[in-house]
């Protein structure tokens, strides 16, 4: 590990980093615009100029292209450095419209941030600003303002290096330089809106988010996108019970710095058709009434038809905790064979980057719990005319298999879901549960990575976490009632019953998740044992 | 006085001097033949080192030393690129070589390529050059046809291809890494260094970039020996140089003289003195990017790297622009700042925004619409630009700006409103 | 917009010179500009296809260089250098004279599409200023009389060859 000196203090840093990264690793921020850790180094903004001691004396050098190698000695806070930053700020703002009051980036703008630290606070320019195009409809999700652009080229590099779709380029020369697309072409790729996140200023804004909310009103929760089985890490931005946007959260093992557009916009389902009340045949009733009648239905079926007449559908949409509780409690009541996986797959478009064909976030979680994810097996169970009562956890129910079920032998349906969907309407008893923004929980992605979400919103209406609703529902049938009061209690059971989670708790799950795949050593050991 | 030595300009102005027949009729390609047969590549480099030849593009880096930096990894091609993007205002000497004596350049390329172990050389010629390109391209075709270059150069086993690559109008492509980008079919953005071209240059391969005039000197050096070249000029500035003289002189043109020649000799004897018997007001010694000299400074200065550096200016491209007593220094810098703003590639923020800002502010000042603190402000903006960018274009704009403002400050201040009480 | 067979040959010769196809981009743009006098969007797309690069990169590159036109210009493109040496030699007088004679301002094209007048930066003709470049040819040591003669020649030539296609 190389030792470097920053402002006369020696630090040991990881090898192979540039100075911005190395300084950040020891808590020192070097201001920058064009540098982005997920993209190649361009070195054009000049904001990260620092003073470097070299054989020819102290030289101004950009930190982004300076490798943090042994013996590097830099000054990042001298008057000269501050003056250089002030100079760069002045140049960047020279032809900038300074239209913060109507700019969506306000509050999370690199220009605003550094202006507070290095701004000159006096406009020394006496000449007119350079005019460029505004409100350029650059793509289905993105709006461009060329005048706000500082030509850092992050968006260009993103299109060239990450999506390889090459839509955005810099055209022109000198102060006439501007970001544009080829005439008649749009910034239109499945990851296009990432350019909004990486744009350090208000040049590229999200059409979806524009003018909706000042960012300083938003609260942020760390979460995971549930749009597909990739489990991209996100920030979920919300205010007063409404979710306004997802932004990618860096996770080197999953999504790096990016999310797909489809996933990004999937936040919308959190604001639409939330199931708030308990229902009987689609009609709202007091929660306790519905709960009691559902309980009675279970008791009645058990008494009249026995355990085999009841089944339950686990959910690839619901959290690991919900599914575990479903499996655990029903296992106690009915025996282990009556909990089945989803009856159908939910497939969509995919690619070799982030988007997965499986549009459910937790199918791997079911497999991890040992619940079959073979739709055909479940369909067979559902087709069994002996099935008299079915408990369904969070399901989209748009598939023919359900329609058939509902039309033929028609078991009693108890649905626990978060959406006002068809199933909620059709079920005999519907209990509202929370969605992933309203609860703590974890999901296993397609790469066997267990990742957690934090609760961002208060549950809407009477919704309860799925595990809690299940516990209430099955309480009368349980010999010993587990005392779960929060997700950590559920984890108490999880770590007891699932060896892979031994010693873990929800709060100790790393922010970037935990791979459930065997480690290299474990694989080696397993192989050796196998060989013996 | 020893007879005047001409290395580069012997055949300037002579009809048909650009043809193969003319060139070989005057001993052309004899040196290359000898070198390819008798000398080892390292010996060639050693000879160029011994000559003390310094790069004639502007930076003045010793050519032989530059060659010795070329990385030579196994199995990777390396390239020689000749910079014929002559665009520095006040400079028109490479054009003369290309127009009148392109075979001299080709012979230089052949010898240099042999020394460097290069089998493909590119000449990047500015897009506006038509006649120079025609003459050079014809000469290259002749050289192929006569077996000078190609599979078996001059009958030896040495192989060399020369490609003439036409630019399309961008001063910045004279900067060597911008030139490489442009040659690769990209925007002419200067590259971050390191890596230096000698390690990773054209198409990612080790590359040497030399100016036309630099390479054109090579045949003479190999024919007469590095020592003979080093004996010309001054100790640290050996050889001769093509001086471009323009502006208010009676006989503007390209003149070859030994380095170390007094500037006033060039102006008065070569250039025929200031036009119309006017008094001298200012002289740009090495292309528009170099700080301007006052008449007093001109009186004693000699045209060599060390003397010009000592006077706070630079030899640059040896493009001398002479200005008479009627010239407005404010107009001059407005003109030059327009040029630099137009030619800034736009990559680095200080240069992209700063050159235009300087130009507009200075233009406002020229119109009498400046503000009292303009001079100080302009100097400060210049300081904020210089040394803060990938390439030296920002400095090319700020160095002259600073020199005009300091040496002719009263002319600028006369156009500004007076501060109360001053 | 495909190249003619002669142009195609030139293109192939150019591409063969470089280890990477993209290096022939500037050459391709020159060829395309010959066809229409400026580079059309269709030409950009065609070139992109030939060189196997995104069309967006073609427009990014071509707009960097001052000599490529993206809009139609006159048959004769008169480009007057106005940088320092030429300015000291009287370039502004030459530009005014041209503006008066052509009835347009620098940056404009005559109604008959015969002339476009442009101010350009240093053309390395500093010792022979004022000067201009008409299409590719340099005209040096200009005087108003020389300009008049030049315009007369070009007008005759232009009339003889008919308007630009």
Number of C-beta neighbours around residue B327 at 10 A: 21
Superfamily name and number for B20-230: NADH-ubiquinone oxidoreductase 51kDa subunit (3.40.50.11540)
> Across the interface, do B349 and A172 touch by the CB < 8 Å criterion?
no
B345: Cβ–Cβ under 8 A, 6 or more apart, which residues?
Answer: A173, A174, B170, B172, B178, B187, B188, B189, B190, B351, B352, B391, B393, C64
Instruction: Based on the fold, state whether residues C35 and C101 are members of the same structural domain.
Output: no
Task: Locate C49 and state its tokens.
Answer: 């296809």
Nearest to B266 by CA among B252, B277, B282: B252
Among C62, C93, C108, the domain boundary falls at: C62
Give chain B positions within 8 Å (CB) of A83: 384
In a domain, residue C69? The reply is: no
Instruction: Based on the fold, state whether residues C146 and C98 are members of the same structural domain.
Output: yes
In a domain, residue C144? The reply is: yes
pLDDT confidence of B3, banded at 50, 70, 90? low
Instruction: Based on the fold, state whether residues A249 and A369 are members of the same structural domain.
Output: no
Q: Regarding beta strands B302-303 and B261-262, do their DSSP bridges make them parallel or antiparallel, or are they unpaired?
A: antiparallel
In a domain, residue C102? The reply is: yes
Is the domain defined by B329-413 classed in CATH 1.20.1440.230? yes
Over the stretch A309-362, which tens digit does the pLDDT of each residue have?
A: 999 999 999 999 999 999 999 999 998 899 999 988 899 999 999 999 999 999
Interface of C to B at Cβ within 8 Å reads 17-20, 22-27, 29-30, 51, 53, 60-62, 64-68, 82-85, 87-89, 120-129, 133, 136-138
Instruction: Based on the fold, state whether residues A202 and A344 are members of the same structural domain.
Output: no
Over the stretch A361-392, which tens digit does the pLDDT of each residue have?
A: 999 999 999 999 999 999 889 888 899 999 99
Give the neighbor-by-neighbor strand order of the sheet with A441-444. A441-444, A449-453, A514-515
Give chain C positions within 8 Å (CB) of A180: 59
Task: Locate B381 and state its tokens.
Answer: 């903006």
In a domain, residue A90? The reply is: no
Instruction: Indicate the helix (H) or strand (E) that contains B163.
Output: strand B161-166
Over the stretch A66-117, which tens digit does the pLDDT of each residue have?
A: 999 999 999 999 999 999 999 999 999 999 999 999 999 999 999 999 999 9
Give the neighbor-by-neighbor strand order of the sheet with B79-84. B161-166, B120-125, B79-84, B207-211
CATH code of the domain containing A193:
3.30.70.20
B369 class by beta-carbon count within 10 Å (0-12 exposed, 13-18 middle, 19+ buried): middle
Instruction: Based on the fold, state whether residues A314 and A261 are members of the same structural domain.
Output: no
Instruction: Please give the CATH number for the structural domain made up of B240-324.
Output: 3.10.20.600
Task: Report the number of distinct structural domains present in chain C.
Answer: 2
**Phi then psi dihedrals of residue A62, to 5 deg:** -80, 135
**In this prediction, what percent of chain A has a pLDDT beyond 90?**
86
Would you list the DSSP string of B166-209?
A: E--S-GGGGSHHHHHHHHTTS--PPPPSSSPTTTS-GGGS-EEE
**Phi then psi dihedrals of residue B257, to 5 deg:** -140, 160
- CA gap C158, C150 in Å, rounded: 12
Helix/strand/coil for A178: strand
Among B342, B349, B387, beta carbon nearest to A88: B349
Instruction: Based on the fold, state whether residues C97 and C152 are members of the same structural domain.
Output: yes
Give chain C positions within 8 Å (CB) of A138: none
0.90 exceeded by pTM: yes
Q: What is the pLDDT, as a whole number, of residue B420? A: 59
pLDDT at C163 over 60: no
Number of C-beta neighbours around residue B421 at 10 A: 4
Instruction: Based on the fold, state whether residues C87 and C39 are members of the same structural domain.
Output: no
Among A210, A242, A270, the domain boundary falls at: A270
Among A232, A254, A270, the domain boundary falls at: A270
Q: What is the pLDDT, as a whole number, of residue A397? A: 66
Chain B nearest-CA distance from A190, in A, is 27
- CA gap A16, A35 in Å, rounded: 16
Residues 249-268 of chain B with CB under 8 A from chain C are 252-254
Instruction: Based on the fold, state whether residues A8 and A110 are members of the same structural domain.
Output: no
- CA gap B8, B218 in Å, rounded: 10
Among A222, A246, A270, the domain boundary falls at: A270
Task: Report the number of distinct structural domains present in chain A.
Answer: 3
> Across the interface, do A174 and B350 touch by the CB < 8 Å criterion?
no
Q: What is the pLDDT, as a whole number, of residue A379? A: 87
Instruction: Based on the fold, state whether residues C83 and C151 are members of the same structural domain.
Output: yes
Instruction: Based on the fold, state whether residues A265 and A282 are members of the same structural domain.
Output: no
Task: Locate A403 and state its tokens.
Answer: 């329609």
Nearest to B149 by CA among B112, B195, B177: B112
Instruction: Based on the fold, state whether residues A286 and A265 are members of the same structural domain.
Output: no
> Across the interface, do B387 and A126 touch by the CB < 8 Å criterion?
no
Q: Which chains touch C (3 or more CB pairs under 8 A)?
A: A, B
Mean of pLDDT values over B326-336:
98
Domain residues for the domain of A48 are 3-77
Instruction: Based on the fold, state whether residues C97 and C34 are members of the same structural domain.
Output: no
In a domain, residue A253? The reply is: yes
**In this prediction, what percent of chain B has a pLDDT beyond 70?**
98
Q: What is the pLDDT, as a whole number, of residue C154? A: 96
Cα–Cα distances in angstroms (integers) from residue A269 to residues A347, A395, B285, in the given order:
18, 14, 70
pLDDT at A408 over 80: no
- CA gap A369, A494 in Å, rounded: 10
Q: What is the pLDDT, as a whole number, of residue C45? A: 97
Cα–Cα distances in angstroms (integers) from residue A196 to residues A158, A210, A247, A343, in the given order:
11, 11, 10, 38
Q: Regarding beta strands B207-211 and B79-84, do their DSSP bridges make them parallel or antiparallel, or are they unpaired?
A: parallel
Residues 358-417 of chain A with CB under 8 A from chain B are none
Q: Any idea what the Cα angle at residue A526 is, between residues A523 and A528, rounded to 5°?
A: 110
Task: Locate B332 and state its tokens.
Answer: 């001059």
Would you list the DSSP string of A55-89?
A: TTEEEEEEGGGSB--TT-EEESSSHHHHHHHHHHH
> Which residue do the tokens 């009292």 mark?
B372
Instruction: Based on the fold, state whether residues A331 and A469 are members of the same structural domain.
Output: yes
Q: Any idea what the Cα angle at residue A193 is, between residues A192 and A198, rounded to 5°?
A: 110
Number of C-beta neighbours around residue C138 at 10 A: 20
> Across the interface, do B335 and C87 touch by the CB < 8 Å criterion?
yes
Buried b (16+ CB within 10 A) or exposed e, A395-430: bbbebebbeebbeeeebbbbbbbbbbbbbbebbbbb
Instruction: Based on the fold, state whether residues C89 and C41 are members of the same structural domain.
Output: no
> Across the interface, do B244 and C29 touch by the CB < 8 Å criterion?
no
Instruction: Based on the fold, state whether residues A289 and A397 are members of the same structural domain.
Output: yes
Instruction: Based on the fold, state whether residues A72 and A118 are members of the same structural domain.
Output: no
CB of B389 within 8 Å of a chain A CB? The answer is yes
CATH code of the domain containing C99:
3.40.30.10
Mean of pLDDT values over B165-171:
98
Over the stretch B135-164, which tens digit does the pLDDT of each residue have?
A: 999 999 999 999 999 999 999 999 999 999
Mean of pLDDT values over A184-192:
97
Instruction: Based on the fold, state whether residues C103 and C146 are members of the same structural domain.
Output: yes
pLDDT at B419 over 70: no
Q: What is the pLDDT, as a whole number, of residue A530? A: 66
Instruction: Based on the fold, state whether residues A213 and A283 are members of the same structural domain.
Output: no
- Provide the greatest CA pair distance for chain A: 92
Provide the CA A85 distance to its chain's centre, in angstroms: 34
Among B192, B353, B388, beta carbon nearest to A65: B192
Instruction: Based on the fold, state whether residues C88 and C153 are members of the same structural domain.
Output: yes
Cα–Cα distances in angstroms (integers) from residue A415 to residues A28, A308, A469, B7, in the given order:
52, 19, 11, 96
Instruction: Based on the fold, state whether residues A443 and A401 are members of the same structural domain.
Output: yes
Q: What is the pLDDT, as a whole number, of residue A442? A: 97
Chain B nearest-CA distance from C96, in A, is 17
DSSP state for residue A506 in the 8-state scheme? G
Give chain C positions within 8 Å (CB) of A173: 63-66
Give chain A positions within 8 Å (CB) of C44: 182
- CA gap A458, A444 in Å, rounded: 24
pLDDT confidence of A407, banded at 50, 70, 90? confident
Q: Round the average pLDDT of chain C to a whole number and report it.
A: 94
Nearest C-alpha in A relative to C70: A172
Residues recorded for chain C: 165
Instruction: Based on the fold, state whether residues C117 and C41 are members of the same structural domain.
Output: no
In a domain, residue C135? The reply is: yes
pLDDT at A526 over 80: no
Provide the CA C96 distance to its chain's centre, in angstroms: 20
Domain residues for the domain of C42 are 5-62
Chain C nearest-CA distance from B251, in A, is 8
Residue A284 forms beta bridges with which residues? A279
Q: What is the pLDDT, as a whole number, of residue A343? A: 86
Residues 337-356 of chain B with CB under 8 A from chain A are 341-350, 352-356
CB of A184 within 8 Å of a chain C CB? The answer is yes
**In this prediction, what percent of chain A has a pLDDT beyond 70?**
98
CATH code of the domain containing C57:
1.10.10.1590
Q: Round the average pLDDT of chain A to a whole number and report it.
A: 94
pLDDT confidence of A162, banded at 50, 70, 90? very high
Instruction: Based on the fold, state whether residues A16 and A153 are members of the same structural domain.
Output: no
The residue extents of the domains of chain B are 20-230, 240-324, 329-413
Instruction: Based on the fold, state whether residues C103 and C42 are members of the same structural domain.
Output: no
Instruction: Based on the fold, state whether residues C82 and C142 are members of the same structural domain.
Output: yes
CB of A123 within 8 Å of a chain B CB? The answer is no
Give chain B positions within 8 Å (CB) of A87: 350, 384-385, 388
Task: Locate B391 and state its tokens.
Answer: 């390439």
Would you list the DSSP string of B78-123?
A: -EEEEEE---STT--HHHHHHHH-HHHHHHHHHHHHHHHT-SEEEE
Instruction: Indicate the helix (H) or strand (E) that contains B335.
Output: helix B329-343
Report ipTM for this prediction: 0.96
Helix/strand/coil for A120: coil
Among B343, B348, B353, beta carbon nearest to A95: B353
**Phi then psi dihedrals of residue B57, to 5 deg:** -75, -45
Give chain A positions within 8 Å (CB) of B397: none
Over the stretch B4-46, which tens digit does the pLDDT of each residue have?
A: 889 999 999 999 999 999 999 999 999 999 999 999 999 999 9
Over the stretch C104-121, which tens digit does the pLDDT of each residue have?
A: 999 999 999 999 999 999
In a domain, residue A83? The reply is: no
Instruction: Indicate the helix (H) or strand (E) that contains A247.
Output: strand A242-248
Nearest C-alpha in B relative to C120: B339
pLDDT confidence of A399, banded at 50, 70, 90? low
> Across the interface, do C44 and A181 touch by the CB < 8 Å criterion?
no
> Across the interface, do C56 and A172 touch by the CB < 8 Å criterion?
no
Q: Regarding beta strands A204-206 and A142-144, do their DSSP bridges make them parallel or antiparallel, or are they unpaired?
A: antiparallel
> Across the interface, do B360 and A127 touch by the CB < 8 Å criterion?
yes
pLDDT confidence of C165, banded at 50, 70, 90? very low
Among C44, C56, C63, beta carbon nearest to A166: C56
- CA gap B117, B97 in Å, rounded: 25
Over the stretch B258-280, which tens digit does the pLDDT of each residue have?
A: 999 999 999 999 999 999 999 99
A354: Cβ–Cβ under 8 A, 6 or more apart, which residues?
Answer: A191, A230, A232, A255, A258, A259, A260, A263
Buried b (16+ CB within 10 A) or exposed e, A346-376: beeebeeebbbebbbbbbbbbebbebbbebe
- CA gap A355, A485 in Å, rounded: 36
Best residue in C51, C53, C56, C64 for a mutation probing chain A (most A CBs within 10 Å): C56
């Amino acid at each position: 590990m190389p030792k470097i000196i920053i402002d006369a203090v020696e630090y040991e840093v990881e090898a192979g980093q540039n100075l911005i990264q190395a300084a950040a690793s020891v808590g020192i921020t070097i201001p920058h615009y064009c540098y982005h850790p997920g993209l190649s180094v361009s070195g054009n903004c000049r904001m990260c100029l620092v003073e470097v001691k070299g054989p020819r004396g102290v030289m101004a050098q950009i930190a982004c292209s300076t490798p943090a190698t042994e013996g590097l000695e830099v000054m990042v806070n001298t008057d000269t450095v501050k003056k250089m930053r002030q100079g760069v700020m002045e140049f960047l703002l020279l032809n900038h419209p300074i239209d913060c009051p109507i700019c969506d980036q306000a509050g999370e703008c690199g220009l605003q941030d550094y202006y507070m630290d290095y701004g000159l606070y006096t406009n020394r320019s006496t000449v007119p600003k350079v005019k460029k195009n505004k409100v350029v409809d650059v793509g289905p999700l993105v709006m461009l303002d060329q005048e706000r652009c500082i030509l850092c080229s992050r968006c260009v590099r993103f299109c060239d290096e990450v999506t390889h779709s090459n839509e955005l380029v810099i055209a022109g020369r000198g102060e006439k330089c501007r970001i544009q697309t080829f005439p008649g072409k749009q910034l239109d790729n499945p990851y296009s809106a990432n350019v909004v996140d990486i744009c350090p200023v208000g040049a590229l804004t999200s059409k979806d988010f524009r003018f909706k909310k000042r960012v300083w009103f938003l609260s942020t929760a760390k979460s995971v996108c549930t749009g597909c089985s990739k489990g991209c890490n996100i920030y979920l931005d919300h205010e007063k019970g409404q979710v306004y946007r997802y932004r990618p959260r860096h996770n080197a093992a999953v999504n790096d710095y990016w999310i797909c557009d489809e996933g990004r916009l999937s936040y919308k389902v959190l604001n639409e058709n939330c199931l708030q009340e308990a229902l009987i045949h689609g009609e709202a009733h007091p929660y306790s009434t519905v709960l009691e009648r559902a309980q009675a239905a279970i008791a009645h079926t058990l008494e009249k038809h026995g355990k085999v007449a009841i089944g339950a559908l686990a959910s690839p949409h619901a959290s690991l905790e919900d599914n575990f509780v479903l499996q655990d409690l029903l296992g106690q009541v009915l025996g282990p064979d009556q909990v089945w996986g989803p009856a159908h797959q939910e497939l969509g478009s995919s690619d070799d980057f982030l988007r997965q064909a499986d549009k459910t976030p937790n199918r791997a979680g079911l497999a991890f719990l040992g619940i079959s994810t073979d739709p055909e097996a479940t369909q067979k169970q559902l087709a069994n005319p002996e099935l008299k009562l079915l408990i369904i956890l969070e399901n989209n129910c748009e598939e023919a298999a359900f329609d058939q079920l509902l039309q033929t032998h028609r078991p009693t349906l108890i649905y626990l879901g978060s959406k006002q969907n068809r199933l909620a309407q059709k079920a005999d008893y519907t209990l509202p549960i929370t969605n992933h923004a309203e609860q703590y929980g974890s999901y296993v992605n397609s790469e066997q990575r267990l990742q957690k979400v934090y609760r961002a919103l208060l549950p809407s209406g009477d919704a309860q976490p799925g595990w809690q609703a299940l516990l209430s529902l099955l309480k009368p049938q349980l010999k010993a009632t587990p005392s779960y009061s929060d997700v950590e209690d559920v984890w108490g059971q999880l770590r007891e019953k699932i060896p892979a989670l031994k010693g873990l708790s929800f709060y100790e799950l790393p922010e970037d998740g935990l791979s459930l795949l065997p480690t290299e050593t474990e694989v080696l050991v397993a192989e050796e044992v196998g060989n013996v | 006085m020893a007879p005047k030595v001409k290395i580069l300009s012997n055949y300037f102005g002579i009809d048909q001097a650009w043809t193969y027949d003319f060139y070989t009729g005057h001993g052309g390609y004899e040196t290359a033949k000898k070198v390819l047969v008798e000398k080892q590549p390292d010996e060639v480099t050693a000879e160029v080192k011994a000559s003390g030849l310094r790069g004639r593009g502007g930076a003045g880096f010793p050519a032989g030393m530059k060659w010795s930096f070329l990385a030579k990894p196994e199995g990777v091609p390396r390239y020689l690129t000749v910079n014929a993007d002559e665009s520095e205002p006040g400079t028109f000497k490479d054009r003369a070589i290309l127009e009148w004596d392109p075979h001299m350049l080709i012979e230089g390329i052949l010898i240099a390529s042999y020394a460097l172990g290069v089998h493909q050389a590119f000449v990047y010629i500015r897009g506006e050059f038509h006649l120079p390109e025609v003459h050079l391209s014809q000469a290259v075709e002749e050289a192929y046809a006569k077996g000078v270059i190609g599979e078996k150069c001059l009958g030896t086993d040495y192989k060399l291809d020369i490609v003439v690559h036409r630019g399309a109008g961008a001063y910045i492509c004279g900067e060597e890494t911008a030139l490489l980008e442009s040659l690769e079919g990209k925007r002419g953005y200067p590259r971050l260094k390191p890596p230096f071209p000698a390690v990773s240059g054209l198409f990612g391969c080790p590359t040497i970039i030399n100016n036309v005039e630099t390479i054109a000197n090579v045949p003479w050096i190999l024919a007469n020996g590095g020592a003979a070249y080093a004996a010309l000029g001054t100790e640290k500035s050996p050889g001769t140089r093509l001086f471009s003289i323009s502006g208010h002189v009676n006989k503007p043109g390209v003149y070859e003289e030994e380095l170390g020649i007094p500037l006033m000799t060039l102006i008065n004897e070569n250039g025929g003195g200031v036009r119309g018997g006017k008094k001298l007001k200012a002289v740009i010694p090495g292309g528009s990017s170099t700080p301007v000299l006052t008449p007093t400074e001109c009186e004693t200065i000699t045209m060599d790297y060390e003397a010009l550096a000592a006077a706070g200016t630079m030899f640059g491209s040896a493009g001398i622009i002479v200005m008479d007593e009627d010239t407005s220094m404010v107009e001059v810098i407005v003109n030059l700042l327009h040029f630099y703003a137009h030619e800034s590639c736009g990559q680095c923020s200080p240069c992209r925004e700063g050159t235009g800002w300087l130009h507009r502010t200075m233009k406002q000042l020229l119109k009498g619409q400046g503000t009292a603190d303009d001079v100080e402000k302009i100097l400060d903006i210049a300081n904020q630009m210089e040394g803060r960018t990938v390439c030296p274009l920002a400095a090319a704009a700020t160095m002259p700006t600073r020199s005009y403002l300091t040496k002719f400050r009263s002319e600028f201040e006369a156009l500004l409103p007076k501060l109360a009480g001053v | 917009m495909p190249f003619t067979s002669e142009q195609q040959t030139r293109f192939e010769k150019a591409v063969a010179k470089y280890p990477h196809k993209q290096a022939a981009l500037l050459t391709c743009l020159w060829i395309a500009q010959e066809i229409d006098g400026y580079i059309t969007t269709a030409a950009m797309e065609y070139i992109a296809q030939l060189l196997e690069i995104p069309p967006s990169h073609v427009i990014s590159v071509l707009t960097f260089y001052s000599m490529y036109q993206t809009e139609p210009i006159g048959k004769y493109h008169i480009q007057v250098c106005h940088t320092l040496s030429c300015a000291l030699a009287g370039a502004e007088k030459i530009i005014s004279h041209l503006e008066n004679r052509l009835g347009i301002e620098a940056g404009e094209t005559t109604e008959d599409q015969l002339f476009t007048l442009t101010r350009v930066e240093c053309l390395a003709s500093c010792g022979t200023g004022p000067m201009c470049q008409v299409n590719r040819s340099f005209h040096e040591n200009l005087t108003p009389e020389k300009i008049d003669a030049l315009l007369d020649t070009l007008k005759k030539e232009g009339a003889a060859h008919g308007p630009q296609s």
